[in-house]
Chains A and B, each alone.
Chain A
Amino acid sequence: MHVDQMNTYSFTLNKIILQALSSGALWVESEGLLCVSDLHLGKSDRIARRLGLMLPPYESTETLSRLGEIIEQTKPRLVLCLGDSFDDLEAEASLSQAERDTLNTLQAGRDWIWIAGNHDPLPLSVGGQCMRDFSINGLVFRHEATDALFEVSGHYHPKHRIKNGRSRPAFIHDERRVIMPAFGLYTGGLSATSSEIRHWFPNRAIAVLCGGATPMPVPL
């Protein structure tokens, strides 16, 4: 569907128009492709297992429900989850039946690709295709950035803050690549000005701040 009535920030990578949504998802209208990164489903389960802390166990439900809203709005042909979709493979196994049902409903009638992340090496037991990376129309989608041109990646959970504002999840992009913010609810973040992220943007870059009424681009 056409989403320019939604509040988006548009930019191009290899002449393809990409739209950053305030929710932290990326919409590629020409391909009917919706991309989200770092869902970290089952994070509370992993934290309980590994650290003995018992956080409110509702984050997978909430993350899937937010993803559902965006799918409802954009009606994508293809949903691409850009890695670290599950906090680890055991966390994937921990998904409740209700959460699995929700996921099945979201997947119905469209293609669904899980890209491998560092937390969730493939394969996965849920529906959808598993891939290491995915290319379409001269764009490449993978979990962690590489030196490749025209690349969409995640992994770093970038965040950024400007004067008068709060620290917000952010897309970081230049004319060569985009690094996506984490979509999952219980995900921390790494400052966009940190050397790990800046490394990929030696020159000028734009940070697109998410979480507000509209995505807010600022120079980085």
Chain B
Amino acid sequence: MQTLPLAITKWFKDQRWSLHPHQQEVFERSAEKSLLLIAPTGGGKTMAGFLPTLADLMCERFEGLHTIYVSPLKALTADIRRNLMRPIEGLGLNIRVEDRTGDTSQTLKRRQRVDPPQILLTTPESLALLISYEEAPKIFSGLQRVIVDEAHALSESKRGDQLMLALSRLERLAPNMRRMALSATVDDPRALANEFAPHPATTHIVLADPGPPADIRILSSANRAPWSGGGGRYAIPDILKEIANHKTTLVFHNTRAQAEIFFHHLWMENESDLPIGIHHGSLSKDARASVENAMVNGELRAVVCTGSLDLGIDWGNVDLVIQVGAPKNVKRLVQRIGRSNHRYNAPSKALLVPANQFEIVECVAALEASGTYALDKTEKAGEPLDVLCQHILIRACSGPFDADELFEEMRTVGAFKETTRRTFDECLDFCATGGYALRAYDKWQRLTQRPDRLWQLRDPRAAARIRMNIGTIQDTDTLKVKMRGGGRTLGEVEEAFAATLTPGETFMIGGQIVKYEAMRELTVQVSRSQSKTPRVAVFSGTKFATSLELSERILRILNNPEQYRLPEQANSWIDLQQSFSEIPKTDSILIECFPHDGRCHACLYGFAGRNAQQTLGLLVTHRMEKLGLAPLGFVATDYATLIWGLEQVDSWPQLLNSSTLREDLDGWLAGNAVMKRTFRSVSTIAGLIERNSPQHKKTGRQATFSSDILYDTLRKYDPDHLMLKITRREALAGLVDFGRIEEMLERTKGRINVISLAHVSPLAAPMLLEVGKVPIYGEGRERLEAETAQILLRTAGLE
């Protein structure tokens, strides 16, 4: 058992801080190979994580890298550094603490490789990059500790898999290394612990007292919420009042676009000139940093933000969290609320602002769930082989390697503990030769095996390109937005959005309105504008899936509103739905058909969860295409699928037949848009195609071609290729959820209730503005395109 050095105990006393029992326990067990601390926000997790390091560094002079701290967010590392410097300076320790993230300057990064600090704060991607350097063995040889913060968030994504592979490498370079994971409350601590341990070792779990429950209310506004839309504009006067009544408020939005619009309107109605800032991931590094600093210095009364401020950032003064729009995931809600009143023993305070009528019901359901601590489950899709391929390439960048050794190493990662040598060899072959049935690249292999059986890069210069593409976050291509005439960078927009802009058009970014001028060398040049009707930049952002449990709760509330304390306006909204159409039931499928915007719409209420509703959309539109019903697209939420097209559909029982749907499953799997999207992401991670390339940056000419072409070519000539296998598996596990569709069909036993309406119903209205629409490229769209071409010709007088 370890005991805390006296100087640290004394310093704690001087600060009038006392050690929490879980901090004490973590310290006592700090010699263990692997530890997991689960504590609520405000429970001093990070301090608990760093205490062993401070104690080590206090007792002996240590040269080189001692501790690596990994967090999922860049912003978090800056924040942690500030908090860490306090005890370090207070104790008079001579310790260097440095960040290393995508925002760190090249000069500093280079220096860190030669002369690393004792404590390095980084992200999974920057760590992966660091182990790809030839100096890696030297940098990490003395490494003692790795702290993984917000481990629950990382474990949900491929970023976590990449991190665990990096740790398996560090374990080899630094056999003394001990790991500690810090996590907010999770539903299955054992699963997280198992994933975190270097297999077959185990992780000891330290559970902190969860603290008092949060004080969460739903805003009751005198203004009526609209039927659809996500902005929450109607509540701006109420929100301004709340901001004025608190010290510092965080206003969370589910998407960047919503945060932008909301901030704009908030600013216009902010008559008492409260200092309010905006913070989201598409803003420039400088813009984000200045808001963060103003926040820490207490200069802001509120920050309008998105997930970029989501995780554990320690904002001391925040005493209210406002969530605009329904929290799509209860776990996220509880973590967000953790932002406020950052004292362990005081309840945190949060206000939910439903953005539309449906969201009032969603919020009531979410509140009920958070009260009972029924947190959402997260599901993952087996061994992420694309991440493994990237890891093999990263390993090759740092120097020649032995395949047996690498195989052993990666099998210590939980996600790969069942991976066979055959599968590993298939990944290695893909990295080396492309893995094609046609062995075309004998001369130009990416990796070659030397006579001593070690693998190495054929062309060492390839390392630079591989490094440019490290990471598993699928960021869509974005372009910088700059003020014309060499002005500063305002932020980024997606390429797809930029392509739709015409000169003179206005849009919002960073809370200001700008006018699009021109595209120059891959930056969007803009000027200031006074327009009152700007467009909103599209960010595909993250789509959250609501848990199935939440969907079921919502169905219960809709059917028995009297048993829940709903605001009056929500009750009358449900009554309206009842009289205009019907309330969806558990034992039948409600389909509302209505015309909208010149198209036939059909809304299918299955309450089967987003994955299943999405699959249903794909299968039904696939069949509609076959029947000549010219579907144009669909969008799915957790509750329903909205399909639109050129033709009226009246064969719903036939379209929703369980055996035809199953029959179609295989056929569709191959050709649909979701598969292509999955292929793009998988093959980018695995290194088949590049996200970043030096050429692309230089010329701005579209030298690349769509990954859809590669997908179609592989399907035609090499259907058993590794990338197709990974794509299929991921699509099946993550997106398909065919089981839930069958459950839904089983539950409803073919009872389909089709209602024709003159216009959209209250319940379907929010679907019209839902993001993530999936276009169907078929007969319907070709018809429309041909019509457009006709109109253009006629207008030009060329017909």
Contacts and interface: CB of A to CB of B under 8 A. Distances in A.
A-B interaction: yes
Interface stretch (A77-85, A113-121, A181-189): A181-189
| Most B C-beta atoms less than 10 A away, residue of A59, A185, A204, A216 | A216
B372 interface: no
Interface residues of A, number: 38
| Most B C-beta atoms less than 10 A away, residue of A49, A164, A165, A187 | A164
B713 A54 contact: no
Contacts of A61: 717
Interface stretch (A100-108, A132-140, A206-214): A206-214
Contacts of B713: 56, 58-59, 62, 185
Nearest to B694: A51
Contacts of A217: 789, 793, 798
Nearest to B787: A164
| Most B C-beta atoms less than 10 A away, residue of A52, A159, A163, A204 | A52
Given A54-B441, A54-B444, A209 B789 contact: yes
B789 A45 contact: no
Interface residues of B, number: 48
A54 B433 contact: yes
Interface string B676-712: 0000000000011110010000000111110001100
Given A52-B465, A219-B796, A57 B440 contact: yes
A52 B458 contact: yes
A219 B796 CA distance: 7
B785 interface: yes
Contacts of B687: 53
Contacts of B704: 188
B434 A57 contact: yes
B768 interface: no
Interface string A191-213: 10000000000001010010011
A47 to B, nearest CB: 9
B790 to A, nearest CB: 9
A57 B433 CA distance: 11
A62 B438 CA distance: 14
B718 interface: yes
A53 B689 contact: yes
Contact of A53 (B443, B690, B705, B718): B690
A17 interface: no
Given A165-B788, A190-B702, A213 B438 contact: no
Nearest to A58: B717
A218 B689 CA distance: 33
Contacts of A3: none
Interface stretch (B247-255, B310-318, B418-426, B776-784): B776-784
A37 interface: no
B709 A53 contact: no
B462 interface: yes
Interface string A155-182: 0000100111110000000000000000
B782 A57 contact: no
A204 B792 CA distance: 13
B401 interface: no
Interface string B335-363: 00000000000000000000000000000
Contacts of A6: none
A43 to B, nearest CB: 10
Nearest to A185: B709
A149 interface: no
B721 interface: yes
B780 to A, nearest CB: 9
A219 B786 CA distance: 13
Contact of B717 (A56, A186, A206): A56
A156 B457 CA distance: 34
A190 B705 CA distance: 11
Contacts of A49: 443-444
B785 A164 contact: yes
Contact of B444 (A45, A96, A159, A166): A45
B785 A165 contact: yes
A126 interface: no
A57 B788 CA distance: 37
Interface in B462-502: 462, 465-466
B705 A187 contact: yes
Nearest to A182: B705
A56 B793 contact: no
B458 A55 contact: no
B227 interface: no
Nearest to A208: B789
Contact of B701 (A51, A190, A209): A190
A60 to B, nearest CB: 10
Contact of A219 (B445, B716, B787, B793): B793
B798 A206 contact: yes
B446 interface: yes
B51 to A, nearest CB: 45
A19 interface: no
Nearest to A215: B789
B459 interface: yes
Interface string A137-158: 0000000000000000000000
B709 to A, nearest CB: 6
B793 A57 contact: no
Interface in B171-214: none
A23 interface: no
A20 to B, nearest CB: 14
A187 B436 CA distance: 21
A154 to B, nearest CB: 15
B785 A212 contact: yes
B798 A219 contact: yes
A49 B782 CA distance: 39
A56 B785 contact: no
A165 B709 CA distance: 17
A204 B444 contact: no
A57 B441 contact: yes
A164 B788 contact: yes
Interface in B752-799: 777, 781-782, 784-789, 792-793, 795-796, 798
A8 interface: no
A166 B777 contact: yes
B792 A213 contact: no
Contacts of A56: 434, 436, 710, 713-714, 717-718, 721
Given A164-B788, A190-B702, A219-B796, A54 B446 contact: yes
Interface in A34-72: 44-45, 48-49, 51-59, 61-62
A190 B703 CA distance: 8
A78 to B, nearest CB: 29
Contact of B789 (A51, A58, A162): A162
A48 B777 CA distance: 32
Contacts of B689: 53, 55
Contact of B465 (A51, A188, A219): A51
B792 A219 contact: yes
Contacts of A164: 781, 784-785, 787-788
A53 B688 contact: yes
B444 A186 contact: no
B785 A55 contact: no
A85 to B, nearest CB: 18
Interface string B236-252: 00000000000000000
Contacts of A209: 789
Nearest 8 CB-CB pairings of A with B: A54-B434, A57-B440, A52-B462, A165-B785, A219-B796, A48-B444, A164-B784, A58-B717
5 contacts: A48-B434, A48-B444, A58-B718, A164-B781, A186-B709
Given A48-B434, A62-B716, 20 more contacts: A45-B440, A48-B441, A49-B443, A51-B693, A52-B446, A54-B436, A55-B688, A55-B689, A56-B436, A56-B713, A56-B717, A57-B434, A58-B438, A61-B717, A62-B713, A163-B785, A186-B705, A212-B782, A212-B785, A216-B786
